[in-house]
Structure 1
Amino acid sequence: MTNTSEHPARIERAIALFEAGEWDALADLPGAETFDDDDAESLAAATGGEDSAEYWHDWADADDRGEALSAIGCVLWSIEHDADAVVVLERAQALGQDCAANIGELYVYLGDWPSAERWFRLALDAKAHWWERAAYRLGEHAFEVDDQVGDDVIALLEAGMTAAKEAVVVLGWLYRRRGDIDAARRILEEAHPDNDLVALPLGNLLRDEFDDVEGARAAYEAGYKGGDANSAFNLAVMLEDLDHPEEALEWMRKAARGGDAAARADLTSRGDEGWADHDEAGDPAWMRALYRGDLLPHLQGAALPGDYPTIFRINDIVSTPAPGQIAHAARLGWPIVIEPHARGFDLAALGTAITAIRDLTIADAAGIRGWSVLSDARSLEELEMDGSEPNEPVDLSVLPRLVDASVRGRNAFSAAGNPAVRALSMTLLDGQPAPDVQAPIEFFGVSGNAAGEAIASIVQPESLVQLVVIGAVGLDCASLLRFPSLRDVELRACTGVTNTRMLERIPRLDSLHVDDCRDVEDVAFVAGFVARLERAGEQPADD
């Protein structure tokens, strides 16, 4: 909670309503009391920092509830409370405010494109506030996701150029994909003096399509001067290819110092400039160069991309990060790992950051409280629940983007019913019946005595490509014949594996691993079949 003891009573009331999420009451407050510029600055400092100050000024000056709600929504957006911001701005829109494009942009952040598209279309059709941004977003999605390169997409991107510097870059890629490299060059060169995003793609185009080394160099150098470390990295790579190793190394160091991940990995692999060294706090040089200082206590990662990725850890060794920090980490694509807490952990502490998390690992599910919060994880794509079974049921069927789930116990039922899931790993506890797997899964990993029952419960067998079975008792290999696309089977620590000769009748099977299994029928056949598959895999592919 915010310490409001030093504020006047009217400020305390506003802060209390903000923290309670009483948006309508907060929106009505400027009509009942007078708030001056100093009050707006105090509210910004108390609730989110200087980025929200201008919106608190708008709130203080609001003439009606809709206008005040619009300002509150922008305050929430500025402090990365995106889910709350959507709710508030939709209320403001219903009261006649012009928020459609803003709402669409927030849905992009939340990973909900269908909702974003609906609001962007509304803004575009009405030529509402920020409609040019809406045009850019629609054109960007049509090109990058739907692979459309028609004139209608070009028109959207051209309209969006006044509100989004990225639009000209996407337009350049579109022309390049159409094979019109002259048009791509023309629009990038025209935009180059005034758009700091253009230098890198222009340099790449001149290097790759026109073999214009000097032009590419000039573009990369301009990009670096404008603050783009990736331009320095691309220049270093080009100089290396041109056999200028000393100058290439100089630019690689500039790129690393500017924060380019590929550059610091390159220098770390060479043992150059101490990029793998740690400071007194234990933070490596490359991490300090790349990431905000307030995030460092929560990060763990390796300097070289081939080792292990950077993760964002939440534990009781350091204080729980603020929701804004967690949301920032999620938007950078980092897996969020909730490690065991001595006194447990309440998912409510994630706040609205839960809506931004895409990859979540919970190391001790039994120590977690507040599981209902997970239903708001609309961007969640990967979920791993380790440790003991959670103390309360979790409905994973409502998560629209969950494609990879690793669960145990009763929570396997809701994950198995989520139509978005493509990779499912489940641990069945002793005595637990196998759930019906309704999802069109491509990977299935199942552990427990009743694993064979779980395999039989797959409703859409035609989609399964890879199967891992651990600890099954009484596994009949004939049950695998119903999976026509199955290519990879791994059996570990299973007991009583029968009808093993049926394995060679699985039409597309090209990989089989059998480890630490007991009472396997016809062991000699299994060993020979595994060897045959391995030899076949070593053969060169037909031209």
Structure 2
Amino acid sequence: MRLDAELPEHPELPEHPELVQLGARWAQKPDGETGLAYGHALAARGLMDRAADVYTQLIANDYPVGYYELAWLEHDRGRHERADALLQAYLDTTATPDEFADHAAGVLGHWRWHSPNRTDAEALLRRGAAHYPSARADLGHLLRARGDDQEAEAVLRAGVAARELDSYLPLANLLDETGRSDEAEQLYRDGFDLGDAFCAFNLSLLLERHGRDDEAAAWLRKAADGGDHAAIRRLAGLD
């Protein structure tokens, strides 16, 4: 048998019925509703380039939400500068501010706060704090970084009052570091109960400082079981 023989062509797999239906609706009426439904379905199946084409066409059809969707798609593909530019374009083309635009501002502020090359996150974080939980937590971190613990505490307490998981750990840390360990302990417990395994590690450190070694060990194990790398290293004796 020749190893260099031409292999038979395999027919492409048939399109998923849902994609066929959504694609037909999009072709018949290319508006925001049909575009979002089709783009989301394509992305959910890993067809990112096709989803990007749909979002790009939404932009061309004067549906600014295309900028938002395309920004997230590009961000998830590691194209952070392009994602930033697209989300900024969304904000620039939104004539009347609304809650979703404020949410988008929070997302952009969050991205910029975590970018080493950007120093212009604060205004976006403030605008989006009440509409994107990560933006509120980042604003708390920003305020603490410049020494404004009082405002940071107020910002983070608002997040906890809204049961935003992102705010529990930084607020508990702030309280622990300013001598209010009893309240911090409860917040770590509450944050863990809501799903933040990192709260367990910090709680174990607090308990250890207070001589509650058995409890500390139990919470260290919970943190490790939840995937906290610092806890895993400590249990392994690497730290």
Q: TM-score range by the shorter chain?
A: 0.7 to 0.9
Q: Measure how far apart 1:256 and its partner are.
A: 2.6
Q: Measure how far apart 1:230 and its partner are.
A: 0.8
Q: Which has the higher contact order (CA 8 A, sep 6+)?
A: 2
* Equivalent residue number for residue 166 of structure 1: 134
Q: Measure how far apart 1:241 and its partner are.
A: 2.5
* Equivalent residue number for residue 94 of structure 2: 127
Distance 1:94 1:224, change over 3 A: same
Q: Measure how far apart 1:244 and its partner are.
A: 2.1
The whole-number CA distance in structure 2 between the counterparts of 1:249 and 1:267 is 9
Q: Measure how far apart 1:79 and its partner are.
A: 3.8
Which residue of 183, 192, 196 maps to 1:215?
183
Is 1:15 matched up with 2:8? no
1:284-363 aligned at under 5 Å gives the runs: none
Which residue of 59, 63, 78 maps to 2:44?
78
Q: Which has the higher helix share?
A: 2
Is 1:88 matched up with 2:50? no
Q: Measure how far apart 1:126 and its partner are.
A: 2.5
Is 1:205 matched up with 2:174? yes
Residue 189 of structure 1: SS of its match in structure 2?
A: helix
* Equivalent residue number for residue 257 of structure 1: 225
Residue 195 of structure 2: SS of its match in structure 1?
A: coil
TM-score when normalising by structure 2: 0.79
Distance 1:249 1:118, change over 3 A: same
Q: Measure how far apart 1:211 and its partner are.
A: 2.2
Which moves more between the two structures, 221-230 or 240-249? 240-249
Contact 2:106 2:129 in 1 (8 A): yes
Count of paired positions: 223
Residue 99 of structure 1: SS of its match in structure 2?
A: helix
Contact 2:197 2:223 in 1 (8 A): yes
* Equivalent residue number for residue 510 of structure 1: none
Q: Measure how far apart 1:134 and its partner are.
A: 2.7
Which residue of 160, 177, 196 maps to 2:165?
196
> Could you give the per-residue CA deviations for residues 288-314 of structure 1, whole angstroms, max 9, x where no partner exists?
xxxxxxxxxxxxxxxx7x9xxxxxxxx
Q: Measure how far apart 1:90 and its partner are.
A: 0.8
Which residue of 231, 235, 239 maps to 1:267?
235
Distance 1:163 1:76, change over 3 A: farther
Contact 1:120 1:131 in 2 (8 A): no
Distance 1:256 1:180, change over 3 A: same
Percent identical pairs in the alignment equals: 29
Distance 1:163 1:75, change over 3 A: farther
Amino acid at match of 1:230: F
Amino acid at match of 1:15: H
Distance 1:176 1:79, change over 3 A: farther
Which residue of 30, 37, 41 maps to 1:65?
30
Q: Measure how far apart 1:176 and its partner are.
A: 0.7
Q: Measure how far apart 1:164 and its partner are.
A: 1.6
The whole-number CA distance in structure 2 between the counterparts of 1:147 and 1:113 is 12
Distance 1:203 1:72, change over 3 A: same
Contact 2:113 2:119 in 1 (8 A): yes
Contact 1:66 1:93 in 2 (8 A): no
Contact 2:133 2:159 in 1 (8 A): no
Please tell me whether Structure 1 or Structure 2 has the larger radius of gyration of its CA atoms.
1
> Could you give the per-residue CA deviations for residues 468-516 of structure 1, whole angstroms, max 9, x where no partner exists?
xxxxxxxxxxxxxxxxxxxxxxxxxxxxxxxxxxxxxxxxxxxxxxxxx
Amino acid at match of 2:211: D
What is the Cα-based RMSD across aligned positions, in Å? 3.2
* Equivalent residue number for residue 106 of structure 1: 73
> Could you give the per-residue CA deviations for residues 322-344 of structure 1, whole angstroms, max 9, x where no partner exists?
xxxxxxxxxxxxxxxxxxxxxxx
Distance 1:173 1:79, change over 3 A: farther
* Equivalent residue number for residue 83 of structure 2: 116
The whole-number CA distance in structure 2 between the counterparts of 1:103 and 1:263 is 37
* Equivalent residue number for residue 450 of structure 1: none
Residue 165 of structure 2: SS of its match in structure 1?
A: coil
* Equivalent residue number for residue 144 of structure 1: 114
Q: Which has the higher strand share?
A: 1
TM-score when normalising by structure 1: 0.37
Distance 1:81 1:215, change over 3 A: farther
Q: Measure how far apart 1:124 and its partner are.
A: 0.9
Distance 1:65 1:160, change over 3 A: same
